[in-house]
Structure formats: structure tokens, C-alpha cells
Chain A
Amino acid sequence: MAANFNLPGQSDSDSPSLNDQSLFSRSGNRSLRVAEKERRKNEAEDPFVLALKYFSEVEAGTPVYGNDEVERNLVVVEKAAYSRGLSPEAVSVMLEFAMSLRMGTTLCARVLKCLIPATVVPQEAVVRAVVWLGVGKIPTSTQVLFIKWVLTMFDMIDAKDQLRAIYGFIFSFVTDENLCPFICHLLYLLTRKESVYLLLSPQGRQPFVMHLLSLYKVFCPELVTLSIPSRMRSGFRNHNSPWKSALIGIQKRNGSQVAPSISLALTVKDKGSSRKRKHGHLQLPALSSVVNKEAAEPSSLRKVVPLMQLHSFTQLLENMHQIELPAQMGSLLGSSLALQYLDCVQDESAFLRLNFWLGYALHEEFLFCGDGGTSQTSEEALQFLNRLLSTQHFLQEGFSSSEVFLYKFLSVWDGSLLRPQILGLLSNIPVVPSSRIGQLLFEPLMQLFLTSSIFFKCGLMECLNNVLLKWLNWHSVYALEDDWDISLNSHTSINMTLSGFKDSVMELVHFVGRLASLGLQLEGCHSLLLSFILDFYETVCDTFLKYGLPLIVMPPPGVFYPALLATDPVSVDRLAYIMYRWGFFIPMLQSAVNLSGCTYWQAFHISRQTFREFNQYLLFMVSCLLNSKMMFQPGVGVQLNEELLLKSNVPQYWTRFSLIHHPAFMSYAVDFHQKCWPGKKDMDLNSIKNSKMWGWYLDYLFTQGYDGLKHFVQGNISWKSAPADIQQSDSLSASTVEVHAQLS
């Protein structure tokens, strides 16, 4: 029965497996055949392929009731259809199976309901099914269901030419009272001017008929004599079909390679299209010139050149003073030439317009979307944010609207959605006043940090490092322009004094210290995280030398000790570098503070506590690495009970973190030992300790690229000759000298 209706263009079997088999049995290539066999074996085991095979081959008249096999196979197909949609071949097979009524009418409707295409619907399959409709055994309700299915999938049918070719055939169903509304709708979608001549008008004055007729009248007014009522309600009802939601779901999952429009023509107000429209806000407006010229003030009579007419940088320069901004500022984001102009334009309104648009787009996309559909749009959102980032990068400044957006978004962010982009945006935020920084930035970030993966932690550390760099750059720009002792930008709308700025930076550094300590604890002193943290502290220790901001904040013990006792030499080396920089910078700063009585410096009063902290670190580090001692100063930092250390049964525990025995450097010590005494069987690392060997060992380490260590050791030794006049009671010099005394 199925074979009677082979139409041209339709392959004579819907099961590709049979054809393939014969093809490949002829193939002489053995390996190909093996591979193919393997593939086919896999495929043959795939229940979905088996199910399709079953439906394409099942004999007409097979009983349905009590037939477990058909039930099982149908469930497989249904599951596949609802989860990922059916391939075009599968749609053909199932449609053919349903409409041919090979297993009666009951299964027909059920199959139709699960016919959800993954990509497209082959036109031939639809044509065949329409032809089956003419056989006349299908119950009316199922016929209606089928036409509704065609209407829903209309936009997904891969071509329409053959369907239009059987326009007359489809038209003949108009006489069916039940089918008429749906057939009219289908015809409405298919009608071309030439189709109209073929037919007589359908009878009746129902809205759907009138709607079709109105279309005919438009094409061929001479054929339709009927007067069409002037007011017509929307003609075709939007059949709230069972497929739509499933279809949208599948298109979402498949990344919608298909044109997203699945809305029925005319009846546009369905969810699908409103969803589509909703996404429009991430589209950049087109660059267009102002239409409403007369609205502009008449004083500007001089000739203006719309930005869109410029095509090169030279043209931009030539017309610099007569450029007209585009009608929609959002369009600037899409053009590099426009950005160059924006870079030097001083129009406050222009920025405000851009910010309104940008803020609107970000808010609508990420904050106001109630249905949580952000995952579906991620590709679009990704591109948008990347473009925004590159714009901000180009302008070297963040937009205020993206800043406002970020503060709101951070509290709802899961930390993984578009992470690189969001962290990128975050890196660009301007200085936040210290009174609000906790609430706006630290609280949400702390929460995210504690609950997220190591990658997020590293990403956030890098981001905060960038924030600090941006702020310092910003400061150095203004510090150059303004006098030192006046508050920063007092003449502008930003009331950020120098001490206010310092407070913000301090807050940030302390916050990172807290995060870093916690993070290292949570992640077991992960060396990748440690590396990002040390990046940050390298920035911190250079604030004075590179950016002129005299700021001393020591890393907290939670960072210092893990770095010092780390198992990788790079971390220890970097810590040594940081300590060397501090040792370099603190005396400089101190003398500067003492010499100049300037108010600027007073803002940076550095407490003795900071010096004490530094001294302890330095003392511990020197005694540990260089002097083979562990000096825990009472009352500060890390405290370890002597007995506890003895209990560990580590022989000479106090030497375990010298540069010879330190887990990070032990391999170098061994290597060095072997080089010194190539033949020596029993290794005694302690023999490196004698003064001559020790010097060589240090030199050997320095040749391995540990510059931080080199600076640290050399810097500390050279200090011995430092002038005595900076020796203040309990400031740093006293104890460093003590350290050196022990060294020699």
C-alpha cells in the first residue's frame, strides 16, 4: 500500500540502511568496510535507528493492541523527538507511517503529535502526506491535526514549489466543512498571483474565507466581485498547537540553526516572535544620520558631515570640526572610525545617549529578562559583551552605565555565565568611594569567590589586579595634572579627594588580602592561585615607584607563609622579589616623609605596625632561608609551639626551610652537590653550608634565573652599609641590621 504513492523526487525507500548495505558490499576497500561495519554496528545498536527501521518496514495491518514492539519503538522515537528533534529522514519515515495508516488510525495522531523536526521538514514528505489526505480514510480530527502541523512547521519546510504545484489539489479540501478554516490558512500562505486564476472562490463568509478572498482580491481584483468588509478581525486563529513549545525548546537546544521565525503568517502575536523581538536589544542600531534636522538649533548653519559618510581616518581628520553625530549613539559601538571620533569628542549629551542605550541593553538582557532565557542567547550576548569590551579597551575607560549594571548584576550572577566577559567589564570600573565599596563590590564578590571553582578564584584575582592597575594609572594621570596638595578633581563633578582615593585603594588591597588568605586555605595553597595572588602583590609593592602613590600594605600571613613555604621555587622567588622591593622602597618613603612636611605625605602616614609587620616577615624569611633558623616572634604572625615541632620528630626542624633543605630548592641542592662532588656516594647536603660552598651555592641558584632571590639576598647584604641616620627605634632598620649581624 505504501508503495503505490511514490512521487517523483521521493527516494523509493526511507530507510537508508538498505541502500548503504548494497553499496558497501561492492566496495573492495577492506579497511573502509571494516570501519563502515563498525559504524553500522553502532548504528544498528542505536535503538532510535532500529525504531525508524521498524516503522519504515512494518507491514500494513499489523495489530496495534498488545503489540509491545510498536509501543517500545514509538516511545524511543517520541523521546528522541522531544529531546533533540527528528532528522529530515526521520520526519519522512514517521509521517509516511502515520498518514498511510499502516497500523490504523490510533497511532496516526500520536505520531503526528511527536513530529518535531530538528532542522527542516522535507517538502516531499509533506506532499506525500497531503496526497494521503486524499485517500480519505483518515478521521477528520486527525486530518485537522495534520494541517495544523503543516501550518506550524510551514516555515521549516525546505521548499514550497511542489506544494504550490499541488495548490489546486489542496484547494479541493476547502469544501470540507471541518478542514476549511485550516486549509484556507494554508492556501493563504501558499497563494501566488498565478494561483488565483485557477479557481473558483470558496463559498461562505466566515472570517478565514474572507481573509483568503481578500488576498485574492488584492492579486486579482477583477475575479473577486464580492465586497470585502472593511473591518476584519485577524482572520486566522492562532492554533495553540502542541508542537510549538517543544519546537522552541529544541531550537534553543540546537542553537537554532533554523531561521528563528516559526510564527504563523499574519497571526504574529505568539510567544516565539515576542521572544525574537525581545532579543533585539542587543543589536547595535545602524549608523544613520539625523533625520530630524529642523529640530536642531538654527544657529548651527555651518555645513555638517554625517559620520556615516566618512570612510577613512584621513577623512575623519579633515572633517573633524564639522562632524555630525549619528541619530543613534549606540551605532558608534560598531564602527572603529566612530570610536576614534568619540575618543576626542567632548559632547556630554553624546555620552549620555550612548550610556542610556548601553545601560538599557544590558539591563534588558541580563536583569529584566524574567524567563531566565539568557543561556539561549549566550552567543549573541557573548558577541555583544566582547564588542563592548574592545570598545572600552580602545577608550581605556569603562562606561558608567556598564558600571551601574555590574553592581546590580554581581548580586545575581552565578559566577560562570560569560565569566571572562563579566570579569573583563569589572576590570574597567572606576574608583569606587571607600564608603560604598564594601556593599557594591566586596559583598557580592566575596560570596561568589567562596562558592566558586579555582578558575573563578584565579580569574577574580587577575581581575582585581587589573582593577588596581587601572586605578593607579588613573591616579598617576591626575597626579600629574593637579598639584599634589589639592584634592583630586575638586573642580569637576567627581568629588574624590586624594585621601579618599587612598582609602579606596587600601580597602581594595585589604579585601584582596582577605580573599587570598581564604582562597589559599580553601584550595590547599594551589600554586596557580598563589601565582595570581603574587601578581597582585607585585603590583602593590610598586605603587610608589611606578605610580607615585606611597602605599604600604603587607601581604597577610595567610599569603606570606604559604608563599614562603611553597613547594615550587617560583613562588618563593617571587615572594623574595616582593620583599626586596619593599625593602628598597620603605626607607625611601620614610626619608621622603621625614624630609618634606608636605600635607600630601601626611595623608599616607604609615603606622609602626606596618613596619613591625615588615620586619617580622623579613626576619623570618632571612632566618629561615639563609640562616637555617626558625624565628617565631612572640605575639605576631604565626605561632608554633616548640614542643609540637619537637614532636614531629623531624631532625633539626629549624633547618628544614633553609635554601638547602627547602622543598622547593632541595633538587637544586642535590644537583649542586653532585656537581661539586661528582664521585661522592653518600650525600651530605649540610656540607654545602660552609661559607665558601654557600656562596657558590647561592650563585648557582642565581644562575638558574631566580632573580628575585638574588635581589633579596644581595639587597639585604648591602644594607649593612646603609647610613645610620635612618635608624629609628623599632622601625625597620634596627631589626634588619640585626638580621645582617646574624648573617655574617
Chain B
Amino acid sequence: MISSVRTPTNSDVVQRRSKSKSYRLSYRSGLGAASRLCPTPALTARRLNTSRKAPKSHNITEKVSPEHLGLLVKTEWQLSYVTPLYRFRHTQLKSYSRQLSAFIAAEKQQGLAIEVERPQSSFRVSFSVVQGMVGADDDAESVLMQIHSRPLFARQDEPQQLVWKGWLTCVNGNPEYLRSLPKDFTCLPLLGSSGPEALTTVVKLWFQQTFDCCFGHLEISHTSLQWLVALWTNCHTECGIQHLKMNWTLPVAPPLQVTYTVDPQDAWVLWSSVRKDKLEVEDEEDNVDIDEVVRFIRGLKSHFYRHFQLDLSAGCLTQVSTALGSAKHSGRIKISNSRYMITTLMLLTECALLKMPI
């Protein structure tokens, strides 16, 4: 199970008897609390879920507005993890938009002399809630941010263009973790951003100063990528994946890049052969197990070995792409089909929560 590292409870505050005690205890909550909550606490044993639901085609268009979906899909996002936001209010988004616009303008003026000459080319920021992009009740609603700007040398009447967009989300976050946070904190652990790096930096800076949170780079690990290979292949019958393309890096000098493309039908056959024994045992719960993923990947590797005499086990999976989307080890992800978006975001939320410092 994932992180069950606990944060201090707020429910105990009122019960405290002495002042010195509550002060002390608020420090030392890293372990004591964790051991109470969970028999196998997570400090050193945090890992990804070993079993997850097979992706179902969510009819997400019913829940999320097509306008929002249009912004979310078919863009490559750079992922980051975010520690919980302090005093973030979904009701204050308008005010946040104003503040961030002003903040960006101020930052720009400090940096580039060019901007000083053209104060009119300001940035317009809009925050909006993406209704429906959640997995469970504990999840906070996702937030979409867009930054529009008029280009540097544009005429006055030219419309502002979308220069940066990003979203903060939490899909099926570990309920234990989410509930352990005091109510002042909003946990939206996953940030996807797309646009100039400089703007991303400024936006992150504003968040840090406003909500006292921290941003860190989120890679998509070898294991997570393998999960994606399996989960996406599993969708093939419902929605053709067209191709299953994997990039492997082998640690030889010079590093060897292997691009391995599998016919979707073949991948599906292999996947169902791995799944078969499982399906007979329990039919009602359509869970995918890490064993199946491992066996599937092993099958793919041995196939490759038979043809090219090259064992991919020594290497590392760095990139996966199908018609449903693509994911890179560096933390870039593109979702091309909104129907399976929730499953992918669930996995990524998990990865982000694993990075939480406490």
C-alpha cells in the first residue's frame, strides 16, 4: 500500500492537557502516529500499489466539460509533485487569478529590460475548477490554470494568446493520507504544466509564497511505465491502441537506445494469455496485479531476445507510447484519449504522493 506516513492529527489538539506537551508532540509525529495508524508503517516500505483496477472506459465527457477536456488532452505535460497547499480555497480562484497576474507582471519587470518599455503587454491569468476530474470523495477538485498574453510585438488589437497552462489534481489519492491532513491543507499533489519554463518557474514561485508549498520534479519510474504499458494494452479491445511503442535504454558504452514497437493485436494476445489464469479464478473483481504486469513485460522481453539476442532486462524502460497517450521517464506525459485519463492520473497521483516528504 502506499504512503501511510501520517501527519499530525488535528483532532487531538483540543484534548491536550499541558502546553509543553502539545508543543513537543507536534514535532514528533513522524513515526509514533504512523505506527498507530498502520501496522506496517511506510517510512521505508513505501511503494506503489501492487494491484489496481483494470482501466474502465470512463465516460468522462459526462462529468468534465468538453472545453476542459480539450485543454487537457493532446498536450504534453511536464509533471511535478506538490506538497499540500496551505489555505487554498476553491472559492477564491478569482482573486488568485488577479494576484498571479500581478505577480507575473512584477517578476517580468524585474527580469527583462524589454518588458519595462511595454507595460501594456501584461499577462492575464485564469483559474478554474475542473468539475468531475476526481476519483473519490476525499479528492480535492482539480484546478486548471491558464495564462494568456499578448505577444511582444503584437499590435494593440491582436487578441491575447494562451501561452501557458497547467493543472493541479488529485485522483484517488490515498484516503488515509488525505484524511490525516488538517483541514487547512488542500492536497493536490500532481502538477502538469505546459508552456515556457520561465512561466512555470514564476507560477511555482507564486504558489510557494502564497500557499507555503514546495514543488519537485516528478519522474515516471521504470515500474510506473511498466504499469502504463499493461494498463494501456488492457484497453485495446475497447479502444484500439494502434501501436505499443517502448523505448529502452541499455547501460552499455555508448548507451544503446532501443525502440521496440509491438503490433497492438500481438500485445493484446500476450496480455490476455497472462491474464487468462487470473480471470478464471475471480471474475467479478477486474483487478490487475503487479505479477501480471511483470509477466507481461517478461513476455515482451523474451520475445525481443528471441529475435535480436538482446536482453532488455539489463536496461531501463524510458518511454511508452500508444494511441492512448505517451509517457516519458523524465516526467512528461501526454494523454490522447480522455476516456482512460482517470486511470493514468490515478497512477500519477500515487507517484506524486510517494514523493511527499512526510
Contact = CB atoms under 8 A, between A and B. Distances in A.
Interface of A: 214-215, 217-218, 227-232, 268-269, 277, 281, 285, 288, 291-292, 294-296, 327-330, 343-346, 348-349, 351-353, 355-364, 368, 395, 397-401, 403-405, 407-408, 411, 430-433, 435-436, 439-440, 477-478, 481, 489, 491-496
Given A408-B43, A436-B35, A291 B210 contact: yes
A285 B213 CA distance: 11
Contacts of A353: 86, 212
B164 interface: no
B151 A346 contact: no
Interface centre among A292, A294, A433 (most CB of B within 10 A): A292
Interface in B163-179: none
Contact of B357 (A346, A362, A411, A435): A362
B43 A407 contact: yes
B8 A218 contact: no
A397 B28 contact: yes
B117 interface: yes
A360 B214 contact: yes
A218 B114 contact: yes
Nearest to B12: A493
B308 interface: no
Interface string B259-285: 000000000000000000000000000
Contact of B210 (A327, A349, A356, A478): A327
Interface stretch (B17-25, B65-73, B230-238): B17-25
Given A328-B208, A431-B32, 5 more contacts: A291-B99, A346-B19, A352-B7, A404-B357, A436-B41
17 contacts: A269-B197, A288-B209, A294-B92, A328-B212, A352-B8, A352-B185, A357-B214, A360-B83, A362-B357, A368-B355, A400-B358, A481-B21, A493-B9, A493-B29, A494-B25, A494-B28, A495-B36
A439 B40 CA distance: 12
A492 B95 contact: no
B203 interface: no
B253 interface: no
A443 to B, nearest CB: 10
Interface stretch (B152-160, B242-250, B334-342): B152-160
Contact of B28 (A268, A330, A358, A398): A398
B53 interface: no
Nearest to A401: B358
B212 A327 contact: yes
A493 B27 contact: no
Contact of A404 (B5, B10, B13, B185): B5
B298 interface: no
Nearest to B219: A370
In the complex, which range does the number of interface residues on chain B fall in? 35 or more
Nearest to A328: B212
B23 A430 contact: no
Given A214-B153, A294-B95, A295-B95, A351 B33 contact: no
A400 B197 contact: no
A395 B30 CA distance: 17
B29 to A, nearest CB: 5
Nearest to A404: B30
Given A351-B27, A352-B7, A353-B86, A404 B208 contact: no
Given A230-B153, A295-B92, A356 B83 contact: yes
Interface string B308-329: 0000000000000000000000
Contacts of A232: 152-153
A356 B8 contact: no
Contact of B214 (A281, A346, A349): A281
Contact of B182 (A348, A397, A489): A348
Contacts, number: 198
Contacts of B9: 493
A495 B23 contact: no
Q: Which 7 pairs between the two chains have the least Cβ-Cβ distance? A: A359-B357, A400-B30, A494-B32, A360-B214, A430-B28, A230-B151, A230-B154
Given A349-B86, A356-B84, A404-B30, A291 B36 contact: no
Dominant secondary structure of chain B at its interface with chain A: loop
Interface of B: 5, 7-10, 12-13, 15-33, 35-36, 41, 43-44, 83-84, 86-87, 89, 92, 95, 99, 113-114, 117-118, 151-155, 158, 181-182, 184-185, 197-198, 201, 208-210, 212-214, 216-217, 355-358
A394 to B, nearest CB: 12
A295 B89 contact: yes
Given A397-B28, A404-B30, A296 B12 contact: no
Nearest to B198: A268
A489 B30 contact: no
B222 to A, nearest CB: 13
A150 B25 CA distance: 58
A344 B23 contact: yes
Contacts of B214: 281, 356-357, 360-361
Given A356-B84, A492-B12, A363 B208 contact: no
B152 A399 contact: no
Given A214-B153, A231-B151, A349-B86, A355 B357 contact: yes
Given A348-B182, A352-B8, A400-B27, A360 B216 contact: yes
Nearest to B183: A349
Given A218-B114, A292-B99, A230 B182 contact: no
B8 A285 contact: no
A482 to B, nearest CB: 9
Contacts of B99: 291-292
B63 to A, nearest CB: 28
A83 B92 CA distance: 56
Given A368-B216, A492-B25, A230 B152 contact: yes
Nearest to A296: B87
Nearest to B216: A364
A566 B151 CA distance: 81
Contacts of B13: 346, 348
B90 to A, nearest CB: 11
Contacts of B41: 436
A216 to B, nearest CB: 11
B282 to A, nearest CB: 33
B84 A430 contact: no
A588 B120 CA distance: 84
B40 to A, nearest CB: 10
Given A285-B209, A401-B358, A351 B154 contact: no
A651 B274 CA distance: 79
A358 to B, nearest CB: 8
Given A353-B212, A360-B214, A433-B35, A400 B29 contact: yes
A649 B283 CA distance: 82
Contacts of A489: 21, 25
A228 B153 contact: yes
B214 to A, nearest CB: 4
Nearest to A370: B219
A274 to B, nearest CB: 9
A328 to B, nearest CB: 5
Contact of A346 (B22, B153, B216): B22
Nearest to B150: A230
Contact of B212 (A215, A329, A362, A492): A329
B152 A401 contact: no
A328 B26 CA distance: 18
A189 B122 CA distance: 25
B101 to A, nearest CB: 13
A398 B27 contact: yes
Given A288-B209, A494-B32, A495-B32, A268 B197 contact: yes
Nearest to A355: B358
A430 B209 contact: no
A493 B212 contact: no
A401 B6 CA distance: 11
Contacts of A292: 87, 92, 95, 99, 210
A420 B13 CA distance: 35
